[in-house]
Chains A and B, each alone.
Chain A
Amino acid sequence: MSEPHSVETELSSPAAADGGKYVYCIIRSDRQRDFGAIGIGGGQRVATVAFKDLAAVVSDTPIVIYDPTRENVLAHEFVNETVMREHTVIPMSFGTVFRSVDDVTELLRSTYQAFSDVLDKMQDKIEFGLKVLWDRDRVVTNLERENDEIRRLKDEISRHTASSTYFARMQLGRLIEGALEEMSARYVADVHDALKQVAVASRSNKPIGDRMILNAAFLVDRAQEQSFDERVKETSRRYEELLTFKYSGPWPPYNFVNIKLKLEKAD
């Protein structure tokens, strides 16, 4: 597990209020690039703003706050996916708007060294997302069938009157909870172990919803992409009956680069 590379920049004080620029990512490029009319806000032209050998991939935008709607987020991601076909990218977080080209250039100038270092580290690295879900009810049914103690308690509860089963029920609940946690931890560890050999780094995020037991991101070397892919498929086949694998990517390394721009209200 590696910590995200952190770049912190203090951004404040006024700037010229001409055409805004939406920034998607930072790349290394010493010539002007045009990625076509694929930008956020209805197909804006996506091009680069350069400083030395660094470039910010941007499109024109009014000075607004973008809602993270599916449409907007997909537009942001689509640009990054397009750019990363040819470049190593440092993705910007969704909704980052600069007030002018000058401001973008200033960002590149003031954080030049940090961006260069991160680009070196992320050279030819891509991210894959893996979410693992289970059907809790089915797992519980399995448990009740296979775990002797749980089965015995269930039988006891079904045979007795309400008053005497209170503690048995509590005990049953605790047993099931414990067994579920243990199983989930074992599955997660198994999946992690299978994949970490073909990944550079991994990171676990908080599971989303109550069916998810693993929400992880893996940083993978492009050269290892196929091995990683095969390993994911192999692992998901092994757990076919029990777990659902949601596998996505390649992504820019969102989870392994963390650029914090201190945002200030711009009026």
Chain B
Amino acid sequence: MGLLSKVIFFPISGPVAGIRWSLNKVVQVAEEELTDDAPVKQELMELQMKLELGDIDDAEYVEREAALMARLREVRAWREKFGKATSGGPVRVARDADEGEE
């Protein structure tokens, strides 16, 4: 029976395990993308450079900056959802009674 069940289920358990693994991978990649603010910050720096070089005018800068800020806030919301640290915002300070100077 043991051997038989293995033979019967093997073709199924193989691919199923594979699918679960790749789903996990997809979720992980999605999470990383949703919570990564580096591309937005890169775009913000590029935008500032364009303004500085006169490639775009002030009005266009303001408009595109607002869009980038909205994306940053979205990333921040996702980071909070996934329990990741956000940059900026309040800092909590540890107080350890017997902690000496570092």
Chain A residues within CB distance 8 Å of chain B: 9-15, 20, 63-70, 93-99, 102-103, 106-107, 109-114, 131, 133, 208-209, 211-212, 246, 261-266
In the complex, the chain B residue whose C-beta lies closest to that of A62 is B90
Given known A-B contacts A113-B101, A113-B102, A209-B49, A13 and B95 have beta carbons under 8 A apart: yes
A244 smallest CB distance to B (angstroms)? 8
0 or 1 for each of B37-67: is its CB under 8 Å from A? (1 = yes): 0000110111011101100000001000100
17 additional A-B residue pairs with CB within 8 Å, beyond A68-B44, A212-B49: A12-B92, A63-B90, A65-B88, A65-B89, A68-B41, A68-B69, A68-B72, A70-B48, A70-B61, A94-B88, A98-B90, A106-B93, A113-B102, A263-B86, A263-B89, A265-B85, A266-B89
Give 5 closest A-B pairs by Cβ, nearest first. Answer: A95-B88, A65-B89, A266-B90, A103-B93, A106-B93
Given known A-B contacts A68-B44, A69-B65, A106-B95, A20 and B88 have beta carbons under 8 A apart: no
Residue among A14, A111, A261 making CB contact with B91, cutoff 8 Å: A261
* Complex contact A112–B92 (CB within 8 A): no
* Complex contact B73–A67 (CB within 8 A): yes
Residues of A within 8 A of B5 (CB): none
Residues of B within 8 A of A11 (CB): 91-94
Complex-state Cα separation, A95 to B99, whole angstroms: 27
A106 smallest CB distance to B (angstroms)? 5
Residues of A within 8 A of B52 (CB): 246
In the complex, the chain A residue whose C-beta lies closest to that of B44 is A68
Given known A-B contacts A208-B46, A212-B49, A265-B86, A15 and B92 have beta carbons under 8 A apart: yes
Residues of B within 8 A of A265 (CB): 80, 83, 85-86
Residues of B within 8 A of A12 (CB): 92-94
Given known A-B contacts A11-B94, A112-B101, A246-B52, A96 and B88 have beta carbons under 8 A apart: yes
Complex-state Cα separation, A262 to B61, whole angstroms: 32
Complex-state Cα separation, A68 to B80, whole angstroms: 18
B52 smallest CB distance to A (angstroms)? 7
12 contacts between A and B (CB under 8 A): A64-B89, A67-B69, A67-B72, A68-B72, A98-B90, A106-B93, A109-B101, A209-B50, A246-B52, A264-B85, A266-B89, A266-B92
* Complex contact A95–B93 (CB within 8 A): no
A54 smallest CB distance to B (angstroms)? 12
* Complex contact B44–A13 (CB within 8 A): no
